[in-house]
Amino acid sequence: MAKATVVKKNTSGTIAQNKRARHDYFIEEKFEAGLSLQGWEVKSLRAGRMTLSESYITFKNGEAFLFGAQIQPLLSASTHIVPEATRTRKLLLNRRELDKLLGAVNQKGYSCVPLVAYWKGPRAKLEIALVKGKQLHDKRATEKDRDWQRDKARIMHK
């Protein structure tokens, strides 16, 4: 009898986070988008095998696409498909949200990046944000403020 492979299942609702985005950008506005996925990708997401670290949102023909996100296929993926880990995936948004994102990216100089992938019921959702880039001095100020808040909480706790 063959040994059963144990796949570690993600118990919380969060699949993946893009911690780098909070460090590199000022987050202006957040949106929730659905993901258009294939069957093997959903299985991999349930196992928590997604990376958002170097991904971003692109717009083409009035539609939004997630580019650069990696979903690593499971070893037990089907033999009749060829899984592509960094495939460009379509985002499902309302027309109003798409128009707002497109206008901000094209006219106001914003960028659009994914922040968190999570489960909402049986569906995989992606929290995306309109962002502006931080300069080096902004990053230093944010880090200094975070350190001060930590020290203040430590002092108040005593």
CATH code of the domain containing 57: 2.40.280.10
Q: What is the DSSP letter of 110?
A: -
User: Please, are residues 42 and 71 in contact by the beta-carbon 8 Å criterion?
Assistant: no
7 part of a folded domain: no
3 part of a folded domain: no
Local confidence band at 114 (pLDDT 50, 70, 90 cut-offs)? very high
Whether 69 shows a pLDDT value over 90: the answer reads no
100 part of a folded domain: yes
Whether 31 shows a pLDDT value over 60: the answer reads yes
User: Please, are residues 41 and 51 in contact by the beta-carbon 8 Å criterion?
Assistant: no
Residue for token digits 């118990």?
Answer: 11
Mean pLDDT of the chain: 83
Count of domains for the chain: 1
The boundaries of the domain holding residue 147 are 12-155
Instruction: Give the phi and the psi of residue 72 in degrees, each rounded to 5.
Output: -75, 125
Whether 155 shows a pLDDT value over 80: the answer reads yes
Measured distance CA(21)–CA(26) in Å, rounded: 8
Q: What is the pTM of this model?
A: 0.73
21 part of a folded domain: yes
Q: Write the single-letter amino acid at 117.
A: A
Measured distance CA(116)–CA(24) in Å, rounded: 15
Q: Among the ranges 25-29, 41-45, 69-73, 97-101, which has the highest mean pLDDT value?
A: 97-101
66 part of a folded domain: yes
51 part of a folded domain: yes
The mean pLDDT value for 119-140 works out to 84
